[in-house]
Amino acid sequence: MILELLKGSIYKQKYSILDIMRDKKIPPPPVLPPSIEIKNIDNFCLFHKGHIKGEIYTCPKCKTKYCLKCAKEARNEGKYCVKCRQLILI
């Protein structure tokens, strides 16, 4: 009898938690636009948004690659790594 009551209360508790979860307004995940991400594409320079030509500069922190030329320009202009905001260190 006690066991039955216990089961009942556990069931009720679980049920109410489920109810709360169901009633909770969880916003749907944001719908991402068709993938225009350019991550993991080798030899893509995020500074001039094109393929890297010539020598490559690799960010020491996030390993993102840039043209050496673009990296030098970015450094001169006081810009940072597009991805991780690391200073351009050449």
Residues that bind Zn ion (CB under 5 A): 45, 47-48, 59, 61-62, 64, 67, 70, 81, 83-84, 86
Instruction: Using the minimum distance from each CB to Zn ion, give the nearer residue, 14 or 53.
Output: 53
Closer to Zn ion by Cβ: residue 6 or 89: 89
Min separation Cβ 55 and Zn ion, Å:
11
Q: Which is nearer to Zn ion, 7 or 83 (CB)?
A: 83
Q: In the numeric block, which tokens belong to residue 37?
A: 């991400």
Helix (H, G, I), strand (E, B) or coil at 78: coil
In the complex, least distance from residue 6 CB atom to Zn ion, rounded to whole angstroms? 57
Q: Which two tokens stand for residue 62?
A: 């996030």
Quote the strand ranges of 1-90, DSSP E: 44-45, 50-51, 56-58, 65-67
User: How far apart are the C-alpha atoms of 43 and 22, rounded to whole Å?
Assistant: 47
